Amino acid sequence: MKEYFPALLFQRTFFAALLILYTVTVFAETKDIPTICQTDCKTPYGQVLGKDKSGVAGYSNCNSDCVIFEPNKHDGTYTGIKWQCVEYARRWLLVNKGVVYGDVDYAIDIWDKIEHYRNVQWDEKVPVTNHVNGSETAPKSGDLLIYAKMMFGGTGHVAVITEVDEKKGVVRVAEQNNLNQQWPSTHSREISLIKNGNQYWLLDGYLIGWKRADI
């Protein structure tokens, strides 16, 4: 029995050291997160909420009041402040379309201040168009849904249309910092789509319309 004691002691010491290292790491990471980003969280800050069909992950921002000015990058390209709605939309466009839009203070600014996207590979301008909710242009995958200032105390919101199901009469969107809940599938939520005459309507409060890149 004695000949196994050193090995057992080493094993216990090793696992104890691992536990201490894990505790210190978690404490350090938590300490860097402001209290507001640890309070009334729907899900813990930084937790993966889901991925759309292209594999772009959405992360929890805890709640809509949480802001940590930590930039995020994808393959060296700046995508925005973690884990804001503006960051997700820009990252989704980068991954799926190879384009990004410029800096904005708030999500609502994407509607009237962004006049073009930029092709990252060629550093060229990509034309964009705005289509108000109820327009004759049907929404499609890749469009950005822009919401009015009344959402989130004046900042608005942006989500990405990832699927359009005309048969079911819905569009599916991916986003960050809205519900901050686990996604039910490869989308964060569904929005009803109806056609009235030649007009297309998405039945979602405060929605201004959709922004489309000419790609």
Q: Catalytic residue positions?
A: 85
Q: Tokens at residue 60, please?
A: 């929890």
Helix (H) or strand (E) holding 163: strand 157-165
Cα gap 59→48, rounded to integer Å: 5
Chain mean position to CA 149: 18
Q: Find out whether 83 and 193 touch, Cβ atoms under 8 Å.
A: no
